[in-house]
Amino acid sequence: MNTAQSQSQDVTSPVAPELVATDRCDSCGSQAYVRVRLQSGELYFCAHHADEVRAGLQPTALEWHDETDRLRDEHGA
Closest CA to 17 of 38, 3, 31: 31
SS3 content of the chain, % helix, strand, coil (to 5): 40, 20, 40
Question: 17-76: which residues touch Zn ion (CB under 5 A)?
Answer: 25, 27-28, 30, 46, 49
Q: Are 41 and 58 in contact (CB under 8 A)?
A: no
The residue (of 19 and 46) whose beta carbon lies closer to Zn ion is 46
Q: How far is the CB of 2 from Zn ion (least distance, A)?
A: 42
The residue (of 2 and 68) whose beta carbon lies closer to Zn ion is 68
Binding site for Zn ion (CB under 5 A): 25, 27-28, 30, 46, 49
